[in-house]
Amino acid sequence: MVKIKTVNLNLFYGSFKALSNINLDVKKNQITAFIGSSGCGKTSLLRCLNRMNDFIRGVKIEGEVLIDGKEIYKNVVDLTNLRRRIGMVFQRPNPFPLSIYDNVIYGPKVHGINHQENLMEITKKALSSVFLWRELKNKLNDSALDLSGEQQQRLCIARLLAVHAEVLLMDEPCSTLDPIATAKIEELIMELKKKYTIVIVSHNMQQAARVSDYTGFFLLGEMVEFGKTEKIFTAPKDKRTEDYITGKFG
């Protein structure tokens, strides 16, 4: 089942064309990876999917993005609800300078949930889903900034789960983590796929190969090739994809 679909999507920063004619299907409960060298447009595309590019000056977007079959640019869209459903994990873990508990309940509170018991229940559920509950249940009032980078990134994911996100957009979520922490986050991502649809941008080809079901290879704003991950990495159709994954450039 297709969760997100883009049709002839173009994105311009001023006169610079950052994305060209992207046609993409993101399947539900699958992990889709975008790979390519920096500046190829993969993050720009990711930010199109929850309209985070709206805040950047001089951005122009053409074409369509459909979520559950509904276009999100042309129709009058409830942006609050859209962004709640399509959550985003950023490169650098960015918990708020608040307690662990306040970080998790920040989203629910923004959406008007104020009941203490409910909030505790939500916190427990969200932290359990990212396997943090057992280690942190007695430290909920400690500052989130004292956690390790990996725990912080998990907490950031929990923060999205607390508002019932359906899609998790991950923008190089492991780029600031060491290999052991990266492995743990990857394990979590694969676990989360059961319930959520995940799109991950990665600099690291091995990571894409390890975790994703589908991979798109991007080069200079174009999606050169898209398909099942094992196909892309074992039998790429395009010469440029092959050159990239075999390390000839990038």
Partner 1 sequence: MNPKLSQIIAKICLGLAMLFTISILIFIIIYILFHGLPILTYQFLSSPIQEMGKKGGIFPSIVSTLYLVITSVVVATPLGVGTAVYITEYTKKNKITDIIQFGSDCLAGIPSIIYGLFGFTFFVIFLGMGWSILSGSLTLAIMMLPTIIRTSEQAIRSVPQSYRDVTYSLGGSKWQGIKNIVIPKALPGILTGVILSMGRALSETAALIFTAGMSIRTPTSIFSSGRSMAVHFYTLAREGLSLPMAYGTASVLIISILFINFISYILMNQYLKKYS
**Contact (CB, 8 A) for 196 and 167:** yes
Query: Considering the complex, what minimum distance in angstroms separates the CB of residue 11 from partner 1?
Result: 18
Q: Which helix (H) or strand (E) holds 189?
A: helix 179-192
C-beta closer to partner 1: residue 105 or 208: 105
C-beta closer to partner 1: residue 36 or 107: 107
Indicate whether 110 belongs to the interface with partner 1 (CB under 8 A).
yes
Burial class (CB in 10 A: 0-12, 13-18, 19+), 65: buried
> If binding means CB under 8 A, how many residues of this protein chain bind partner 1?
26
Residue whose C-alpha is closest to residue 34's, from 249, 241, 246, 248:
241
Query: Considering the complex, what minimum distance in angstroms separates the CB of residue 207 from partner 1?
Result: 22
Indicate whether 13 belongs to the interface with partner 1 (CB under 8 A).
no
Indicate whether 83 belongs to the interface with partner 1 (CB under 8 A).
yes
Q: Which of 36, 41, 87, 173 binds partner 1 (CB under 8 A)?
A: 87
- CA atoms of 154 and 8, how far apart (whole Å): 34
Q: Which of 60, 70, 111, 228 binds partner 1 (CB under 8 A)?
A: 111
Q: Which residues pair with 71 in a beta bridge?
A: 66
Q: Return the range that interacts with partner 1 (CB under 8 A); candidates 28-36, 78-86, 198-206, 233-241.
A: 78-86
- Lookup result for tokens 């990711």: 46
**Contact (CB, 8 A) for 244 and 61:** no
3-class state of residue 9 by DSSP: strand
Q: Return the residues of window 137-196 that contact partner 1 according to CB under 8 A.
A: 156, 159-160, 163
∠ CA 102-157-182, rounded to 5°: 125
Question: In the complex, which residues of this chain contact partner 1 (CB under 8 A)?
Answer: 50, 52, 55, 57, 80-85, 87-88, 90, 92, 94, 96-97, 106-107, 109-111, 156, 159-160, 163
